[in-house]
Amino acid sequence: MKRLQAYKFELMPNGAQVRAMRQYAGACRFVYNKALAWQNEQYQADNTFKFSYTKIANLLPQWKEELDWLKDAPSQPLQQSLKNLEASFRHFFAKRTDFPRFKKKGQSDSFRFPQDFQVEQHNNRVFLPKFGWIRYQCALSHKVKFSNNWKKQKARITQLHSTIANIRKDTLHKTTTTISQNHAMIVIEDLQISNMSKSAKGTATEKGRNVRQKSGLNRSILDQGWFEFRQQLEYKQQWLGGEVLAVPAHYTSQRCSCCGTVSKDNRQSQAKLTCVSCGYETNADLNAAKNILAAGHAVSACLTDVADSSAYISGDALYGYGERVQQGRSVKQEPTEGIAPVMA
Ligand SMILES: [Zn+2]
């Protein structure tokens, strides 16, 4: 079986080679733009005129006659840039992209040799037509461990990772601060790592009127930083005198928040909940958030009204709340209040 495999090498060209590369990339950009302009002119004159690679490629020798400097550029990359234009038009007509645009200097300057190149891996070099052999600068895996170059490359990778981590931290902090400042009580799903990707959360004001959907949150960032997100919420709520309650995630996405019916069939799509029993229709995340909030209120009522707590813990599901309440309450000023009876 034949397998196509792409490899990327970072080349280490010398000064003359760098200048030649810039020149060739410029020539390719020029040919691409000239061909696009020519195509547009033809189309304006006759709006049935279709793009044809052959027609345009046949103009190349003529353009080279007119412009001496074009002759210096290798022919194949010039043809390849016309191929790129052809692909741009094909994608445009297939409604995958916008109409082809003129290329600007400095925006992904490139050119392509479709053949006649060689790779010599044991010598770390690549052969390109017009250039000859050029060295390339290998990745960490190829470097001798603990050598100076290995350390440099390692430092670069570490830097990149810490940049990504900082972006994530920053987003988490902004999000948790906003939520904490606007809500006295926050109810979250007590997510396990295995179902972290579900990430359905509910936030609420103390009175519970405004169940907020987590719109505007960067979901992918939160998915990866779920535990950090929760920790930040907890300590920020502690600072501000609010609280965080974690409730079990069971059935929050399948239960109808209107009539309480639990059914897999309530979720015909990922985005929507349609209750099979009462016909209630709503956004699935919003529905889950309402359920989480309701569960949070049940827990809250449990704790404040100790006399009633036995009723709440009689059911299996609510017994589970009781266990987790301790975690939620541990952030409050009086952590002992009401916990013992619930745990009993
Ligand atoms: Zn219902």
Exposure string (b/e) for 151-165, b if CB count within 10 Å is 16 or more? eebeeeeeeeeeeee
- The tally of domains found in the chain comes to 2
CA of 91 to the centre of ligand 1 (A): 46
CA of 268 to the centre of ligand 1 (A): 14
* pLDDT reported for residue 142: 64
Question: Does a structural domain hold residue 159?
Answer: no
CA of 297 to the centre of ligand 1 (A): 20
Q: For residue 105, give its domain range.
A: 11-138
| Shared-domain flag, residues 193 and 132 | no
| Shared-domain flag, residues 328 and 278 | yes
CA of 256 to the centre of ligand 1 (A): 5
| Shared-domain flag, residues 212 and 273 | yes
| Shared-domain flag, residues 133 and 16 | yes
Domain end residue (candidates: 80, 113, 138): 138
Start-end of H helices in the chain: 15-45, 53-57, 60-66, 75-93, 148-182, 219-224, 226-240, 284-304, 309-313, 316-329, 339-343
pLDDT, averaged per 10 consecutive residues of the chain (344 residues), comes to 70 88 93 93 86 90 90 91 92 86 85 89 86 79 73 81 80 87 87 45 38 41 69 88 86 90 88 92 89 86 45 25 32 29 27
* pLDDT reported for residue 228: 80
Q: Give the environment of ion ligand 1: residues with CB less than 5 A.
A: 256, 258-259, 261, 275, 277-278, 280
CA of 198 to the centre of ligand 1 (A): 22
Q: Can you tell me the distance from the alpha carbon of 221 to that of 203, in angstroms, rounded to the nearest whole number? A: 18
Q: Can you tell me the distance from the alpha carbon of 202 to that of 187, in angstroms, rounded to the nearest whole number? A: 6
* pLDDT reported for residue 140: 62
Full-model pTM: 0.44
Question: Does a structural domain hold residue 171?
Answer: no
| Shared-domain flag, residues 184 and 306 | yes
* pLDDT reported for residue 5: 67
CA of 255 to the centre of ligand 1 (A): 8
* pLDDT reported for residue 216: 38
CA of 281 to the centre of ligand 1 (A): 8
| Shared-domain flag, residues 202 and 332 | yes
Q: Which residue in 14, 130, 42 sits closest to 78, CA to CA?
A: 130
* pLDDT reported for residue 139: 64
* pLDDT reported for residue 211: 35
CA of 219 to the centre of ligand 1 (A): 27
CA of 263 to the centre of ligand 1 (A): 10
CA of 314 to the centre of ligand 1 (A): 24
* pLDDT reported for residue 319: 26
